[in-house]
């Protein structure tokens, strides 16, 4: 890599992707670093999906293409939920600027649909909502190095323990590589249970992503908080900030 | 989806289903959002079943049809319990407005009876009391994508780990899809153990439902509390509210 | 179920079974609801067995028949323990009003003896001391729906995971159904370890019973406490009450 | 059982076995109830073995026979440890009043030596130090009801899960029955880890014994405490009492 | 080993490798002891990778060779991240003073690339970022002592439990030996989850390394802290020190 | 055992082995009891290995033979570490008074080297640093009572669960017996993780040894503490004492 390469790097580094979440761009020196993968973690009902709508809608306003990969919720439900917050994706879906894709978790190969989609189209903004069901899937690899999709004979030929941290790493790495090939800026939502203090259910993905936004609730104080736990190439505070869920989505109190 | 579709969505979104629980409609801007699935979680003795009776009875008063799916308690016991609180379902059972269905957990296919019932009849209100025994069941899937009921040869042909989070997700998703096809508004009760701070025993279902009501006890203060932990398309407080169990069922102190 | 049925229900509901424990009937509006199954949970040495003696002895005084099912303690030891508190069951055992039955946990079919006993005799009051060793047993079911006793080939033919929550549910449900067929009012004692905050060791049975009495110790204060954690069809306080173990058994301080 | 039987029971109940531990008889109304099995639980270094020496030595002074079953420590080490506290068992070992028996845990049948010993001799006092390695052993049972010692083919023929709570119960019940046939008064020492709040490592044995003494350390205060957590047929305080380890063994501060 | 050997040892011991992290050399009497392996542990986003860049860049300034082994992050991403902090490795990469090597975790033999690299070149400074994915890999050993790479028949021929502490020890020991043969001074980064109080995810590697730096966050106080938890041959404080992430990397506040 | 035997015992009991750790002999009435096995437990970096050097070096000064068994660290590293604290073992190694032996954990029979060594030489002082990797190894036993080293067919022929508490007990007992046959006074170091409150990682060995020294850190106070948690035949305080790591090794503040 020559000096030009480094210059190019520094320049790219200064590129920021506006988040669409009111107040967040201010905390992040202009937005997410372009091409980064951000984990959006939180317990149930913290507003993860709404933040994703805001992020993609912001892109549409800028003429960017957006892809919503849903592993839990049927697309119809998502659209209703978005509409309730005034995010109308119908026009952009028709003109191909926006795409919602449901990932059937029961299918053997969870990646086929994503790979096909990314082969035909480049998206500036991608949301994977949520990462958790994928990272929890078992993954097998056989001796010749080729990936091996679980089959009815899997129990005898597997070499990587089912549900192991290795399987999780393998899934998250594969997904991140896929998204980075497009230079997409990605939000991956992640489940965190009430009892846990960790940043994801799998406790692995937070080490592999470029940034982490952590959403929490304080029921006794009736407050919602967001913490920037990690954001590469960005100087940021670690302090939790209050936010509200309004008619226009998440709004951070600065 | 065209502009009309979005309009239709917004309109549907404003539709609310009264809960029948005194004070709850006020906290929920009129009731549960129509067509949503609500998790009603709580430790033993918090009043989950009574709340379900109130919810269904309220529907009967409005001329809506109700279905009570019981996975733990025999129907006879449920009716006695309901009668003790003055909920007399006998008339509506006779005229077919109300149906109680016991789900035999020992059966291989737990869904057959529900599917049969929903094929022949549409219910505005459904209660599944409780979700927990179903979500805990193992689930197998074979290579051709068809569901595979556990058999004596299951151990060698299974591709999804027994009792895994994947099996839980698969169960909850299947049930929610089934109920949403009818556009039913559903309460799913869920067990939470004394020691846990989570919103369900399986720690998965709270991420898949549209809303969560969480019932807790404070024995030293002799108090019962309800918290709206999540309610899609609804602006709500996160603060716990005291409630009492009276002769007319749960009554929230506003 | 017609109007008469409901009337019958309400009437049955008002029937109360005196507990024989000093002060408890006052807290329970007259006693346990007739036909209910009550979980009596507690750490070691909290007085569970003594409470059971009191309950059955009270029945004998009223001319009711009593059955003590013991899964841990040999009958001879139980009788010595009862005698130490002045409960003399010898006369009622001779005239058949009272029966003590030891359940051999090592036997393959733990239910055979109970079923045989209940087929030949109806008992108003039953004690199962304790439920825990039974709920912890593995349980297998085969494809044709019939119960399958573990055999040497069990490992390959089982379809329900050993020691799973499903096995526990299956056991507790089976027992409760057995007892309710007789309309017996039942106490099931349940082990709770020192470290746990749960209401039973299995964390399942508390969701299936009709009522829960929870006995705890406060060693630094030299105090014993009982909490009514759940009691269907009964308005009750959640506050813990002090009790003493006296020569006449448990005595609650009101 | 006739009236004479009950009278006999009450009489036996008043029989107390002096513990030999200074101050403990006062707390226990004269000593352990005759024929009872007492769990002596504690973290490492709390003085369990010394208490056992005191208990057996006290018996020798009264002309009673004593048996020390050691599952962890070689007999020679035990004798050295006892001698350090001035307990000289050499004379009583020679004249057969006292016996130390080492139980080889690696042997397939851990009970053979105990059974042989108890068949030939009756001991008023027995110490099993400690119960923990035995209760943790796996135990298999086959379809015909006979016990089955693990063999090289055990993995395929077992019907009870290895290391399950059932195996523990089975072991503790078997031992208690063995000792009660002799009407021996027994101390079973039990390991409790530093982190645990439970009364034994297995969390089962405390529910099966007749009494529990719990020894704890408070290192910051340089104090040792004993709590009577359970003692059937005995009115006792639950308050922890300080004790010291002196040249004459454990001495409770009253 | 003769007197000269000891003299040689003492002399080597006094050799220190400057860390490049502002303030750390002062706390460590001049730097890391030469030839030692240092664990750099921390939760996500604590600055582990940046510290590694500083460490290697410092070496380049001194004319030392550096090797960055990456088990999680593609090299391109690492270079971008480094560039963002002003660390330009492009020149040193061209002239061979610096090498970045990506370790494919999916490969059967994770050590082949490291061994090959170390056979051909000697590096004064090595970074392994991170150790965690390697230490978590299963490891098999067969009877003849030779390492056995998992194959499709692994399940039947393995003698060491998968994912056991033994496998972890074996991996960490192997790596440390490999690095010490070169007398390289090594930083191994290590994942620590939010909830844990341990010094690594595997809880083993902290016992095998020569030193431990522990990075933590205090989000409520918006502070970052570093603790020297262990540093062989070095007199050091145990007190946590505040540090900032600046444009020049980590800077400790003395 | 006759009266002379007891006299001999009491005399042996008074024999103390000076520890070489400044201040510790005072706390222990002169040192470790001769022939005892002492567990030296602590989190990483608490000074366990340095204490071992002091202990063995003290013996060399008294003309006693010493053996250092290392299961984790190569001997060369140990010698460097010792030299850094001024412990020069080179002379005593040459004249055979001192021996360092590395135990290859990957070997099938971990005991062969120890047994061979102890057969040819008697050592007054032995250090096993650390016990943890050995106690964690699986151990198999076959039906005929002979130990069975794990082989490629182990999975089908094993009768003791891998990694069970039984395997740990078996390992620790075997080692202690081996050392006691020589009447050696032994230090066994033991790993304790940061999060744990237990006295060893295996939670078993603390019950089998004769004494326990527990080393802890208080990072916020920059303090190191040692607690004598157990010491047979020794009157000792339970209070933690501060200690420093100085140029001459551990020094306890009295």
The pLDDT of residue B106: 73
Q: Which of B6, B141, B169 sits opposite A83 (nearest CB)?
A: B6
Which residues fall within 8 angstroms of residue A248, CB to CB, at 6 or more apart?
Answer: A22, A85, A86
| pLDDT of res. E143 | 32
Q: What is the dihedral of CA E168, E170, E175, E178, to 10 degrees?
A: 180
Do residue F1 and residue D93 have CB atoms under 8 angstroms apart? Answer: yes
pLDDT at position D11 is 58
C41 pLDDT exceeds 50?
A: yes
SS (H, E, C) chain C: CCHHHHHHHHHHHHCEECCCCECHHHHCCCCEECCCEEEEEECCCCCHHHHHHHHHHHHHHCCCCEEEEECCCCHHHHHHHHHHCCCCCHHHHHCCCEEEEECCCCCCCCCHHHHHHHHHCCCCEEEEECCHHHHCCCCEECCCCCEECCCCCHHHHCCCCCCCHHHHHHHHHHHHHHHHHCCCEEEEEEECCCCCCCCCCCCCHHHHCCEEEEEEEECCCCEEEEEEEEECCCCCCCCCEEEEEECCEEEECC
Residue F57 has pLDDT above 70, yes or no: yes
What per-residue confidence (pLDDT) applies to F252? Answer: 98
Spans of chain D, pLDDT less than 70: 1-13, 108, 139-163
Rounded distance between C-alpha atoms, residue E179 and residue D172, angstroms? 52
pLDDT at position E206 over 90 = yes
**pLDDT score of C127 more than 60:** yes
Q: F217: which chain E residues are within 8 Å (Cβ-Cβ)?
A: 229, 238
Q: Is F183 within 8 Å of chain D by CB?
A: no
**Exposure string over F83-104, b if 16+ CB within 10 A, otherwise e:** bbbebbbbebbeeebbbbbbbe
Q: C84 pLDDT band (50/70/90 cuts)?
A: confident
Residue A203 has its nearest CB partner, among E152, E162, E193, at E193
- Confidence at C110, pLDDT banded by 50, 70, 90: confident
CB contact under 8 A, A88 and B227: no
Rounded to whole angstroms, how far apart are CA atoms E238 and E235? Answer: 10
Distance from the Cα of D46 to chain F's closest Cα (Å) equals: 8
Split at pLDDT 50, 70, 90, the class of A140 is low
Q: How far apart are CA A238 and CA A243, in angstroms?
A: 15
Give exposure, A5-36, as e/b (b: 16+ Cβ within 10 Å): ebeebeebbeebbbbbbbbbbebbeebbbbbb
Q: What is the sign, positive or negative, of the torsion defined by CA atoms of E39, E45, E49, E53?
A: negative
Q: Which of A46 and A159 is assigned the larger pLDDT?
A: A46
pLDDT digits (tens, 9 = 90+) for E33-65: 999 999 999 999 999 999 999 999 999 999 999
| Model pLDDT for residues F8-35, shown as the tens digit of each residue | 555 555 799 999 999 999 999 999 999 9
In terms of DSSP bridges, do strands C125-129 and C185-191 run parallel, antiparallel, or are they unpaired? parallel
Kindly report the nearest CA distance between residue F29 and chain E, in angstroms: 30
Q: Flag whether residue A144 sits within 8 Å of chain E, measured between CB atoms.
A: no
pLDDT of E190: 98
Convert the pLDDT of each residue in F152-208 to its tens digit: 333 333 345 545 788 889 899 999 999 999 999 999 999 999 999 999 999 999 999
**How is residue B146 written in tokens?**
């068809």
Instruction: Give the Cα separation of D26 and A150 in Å (integer).
Output: 68
3-state secondary structure of A127: strand
Inter-residue contact F184 to F38 (CB < 8 Å): no
Residue F94 has pLDDT above 90, yes or no: yes
| Helix (H/G/I), strand (E/B), else coil: F198 | coil
Q: Which candidate from A80, A81, A151 shows the least CB-CB separation from B159?
A: A151
Q: How far is CA B86 from CA A207, D83, D232, in A?
A: 56, 75, 46
Is residue E223 helix, strand or coil? strand
E14-27: pLDDT as tens digits: 799 999 999 999 99
Per-residue pLDDT band for F250 (boundaries 50, 70, 90) equals very high
In this structure, of E161-170, E210-219, F70-79, the range with the lowest mean pLDDT score is E161-170
Could you tell me if A170 lies within 8 Å of chain E, comparing CB atoms? Answer: yes
Question: Concatenated DSSP letters for B189-217?
Answer: EEE--TT--SSSSSSSHHHHSSEEEEEEE
pLDDT at position E73: 92
Strands D16-17 and D32-33: antiparallel
Strand partners, E41: E190, E214
For residue A64, give both structure tokens: 């960017």
Q: Which of helix, strand or coil describes residue F69? A: strand
Query: CA of E72 to nearest chain A CA: how many angstroms apart?
Result: 7
N- to C-terminal Cα distance for chain D? 41
The mean predicted confidence, pLDDT, of chain C is 87
Give the B:C interface size as CB pairs under 8 Å. Answer: 103
Omega of the bond leading into E241 within 30 degrees of 0 (cis): no
pLDDT band at B11 (very low <50, low <70, confident <90, very high): low
Residue F147 has pLDDT above 50, yes or no: no
Q: Among candidates B17, B121, B14, which has minimal Cα distance to B62?
A: B17
What's the confidence (pLDDT) of residue F108?
66
Give the pLDDT mean for C109-134: 94
Considering only CB atoms, A238 lies closest to which of E77, E151, E219, namely E219
Closest among A179, F206, B93, C79 to D232, alpha carbons compared: C79
The predicted pLDDT at position A121 comes to: 95
For residues A199-216, give the mean pLDDT.
Answer: 96
Greatest mean pLDDT among E47-56, E101-110, F110-119: E47-56
Which of the pair, C95 or E147, is modelled with greater confidence?
C95
C-alpha E235 chain-centroid distance = 21
Chain E stretch 184-203, residues whose beta carbon is closer than 8 A to a beta carbon of chain A: 191, 193-195
Mean per-residue pLDDT for C39-51?
Answer: 97
Quote the Cα angle for B133-C237-C34, to 5°. 65
F207 touches chain D (CB under 8 A): yes
Provide, rounded to the nearest whole percent, the portion of chain B with pLDDT above 70: 84
C near D: at least 3 beta-carbon pairs less than 8 Å apart: yes
pLDDT at A136: 85
pLDDT tens digit sequence for A81-135: 999 889 999 999 999 999 999 998 877 678 999 999 999 999 999 999 999 999 9
| Predicted pLDDT of residue D158 | 37
Q: Determine the pLDDT at residue A163.
A: 55
Whether F161 contacts chain E with CB within 8 A: no
Instruction: Using alpha carbons, select from D171, D217, D211 the residue that is nearest to residue D194.
Output: D217
| Interface residue D2 vs chain F (CB under 8 A) | no
Q: Is the pLDDT of residue E213 over 90?
A: yes
CA C20 from centre of chain: 15
CB contact under 8 A, A77 and B180: yes
Q: How confident is the model at residue F247 (pLDDT cuts 50, 70, 90)?
A: confident
pLDDT given for residue E194 in this prediction: 93
B96 touches chain C (CB under 8 A): no
CA of D18: how far to CAs of D10, D57, D220, in Å? 19, 11, 33
Task: State the average pLDDT over residues A15-21.
Answer: 96
Indicate whether A227 pLDDT > 90.
Answer: yes
pLDDT above 60: residue A10: no
Region at D73 (left for phi over 0; alpha for psi -120 to 50; beta for the rest): beta
The distance from CA B213 to its chain's CA centroid, rounded to whole angstroms, is 10
Q: Is the pLDDT of residue E145 over 50?
A: no
Residue with tokens 């001698």: D83
Tell me the DSSP string of E61-79.
HTT--EEEEESSS-HHHHH
Binned at pLDDT 50, 70 and 90, residue F215 comes out as: very high
**pLDDT of the residue at A138:** 72
Does the structure show a pLDDT above 50 at E156? no
Cβ pair F90:E2 closer than 8 A: yes
Residue C190's pLDDT band (boundaries 50, 70, 90)? very high
> Is residue F5 scored above 60 in pLDDT?
no
pLDDT given for residue A166 in this prediction:
82
Per CB-CB distance under 8 Å, the chain E contacts of A156 are 152, 155
Q: C-alpha B184: how far from its chain's center?
A: 11
Q: Is the pLDDT of residue B73 over 70?
A: yes
User: What pLDDT is attached to residue E141?
Assistant: 43
Q: Is E92 helix (H, G, I), strand (E, B) or coil?
A: helix
Roughly how many angstroms between the first and final C-alpha of chain A, as a whole number?
41
pLDDT tens, B182-235?
A: 999 999 999 999 999 999 999 999 999 999 999 999 999 999 999 999 999 999
pLDDT of the residue at D164: 75
Nearest to C193 among D5, D143, D203 (CB): D203
Judged by a CB distance cut-off of 8 A, whether residue A43 touches chain E is no
pTM here is 0.91
Coil/strand/helix, residue F140: strand
């Amino acid at each position: 890599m020559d000096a030009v390469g480094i210059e190019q790097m520094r320049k790219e580094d200064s590129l920021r992707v506006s988040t669409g979440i009111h107040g967040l761009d201010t905390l992040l020196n202009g937005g997410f670093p372009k091409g980064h993968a951000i984990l959006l973690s939180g317990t149930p009902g913290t507003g993860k999906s709404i933040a994703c709508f805001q992020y993609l809608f912001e892109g549409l306003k800028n003429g960017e293409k957006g892809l919503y990969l849903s592993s839990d919720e049927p697309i119809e439900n998502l659209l209703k939920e978005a509409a309730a917050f005034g995010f109308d994706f119908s026009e952009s879906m028709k003109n191909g600027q926006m795409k919602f894709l449901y990932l059937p978790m029961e299918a053997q190969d969870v990646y086929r649909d994503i790979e096909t989609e990314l082969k035909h189209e480049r998206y500036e903004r991608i949301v994977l909502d949520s990462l958790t069901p994928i990272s929890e899937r078992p993954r097998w690899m056989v001796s010749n190095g080729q990936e091996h999709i679980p089959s009815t004979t899997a129990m005898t030929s597997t070499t990587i323990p089912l549900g192991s941290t290795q399987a999780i790493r393998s899934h998250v790495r594969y997904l991140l590589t896929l998204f980075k090939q497009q230079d997409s800026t990605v939000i991956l939502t992640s489940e965190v249970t009430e009892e846990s203090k960790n940043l994801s259910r799998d406790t692995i993905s937070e080490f592999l992503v470029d940034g982490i936004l952590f959403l929490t609730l304080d029921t006794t104080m009736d407050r919602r908080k967001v913490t920037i736990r990690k954001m590469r190439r960005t100087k940021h505070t670690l302090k939790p900030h209050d936010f509200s869920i309004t008619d226009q989505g998440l709004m951070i109190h600065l």
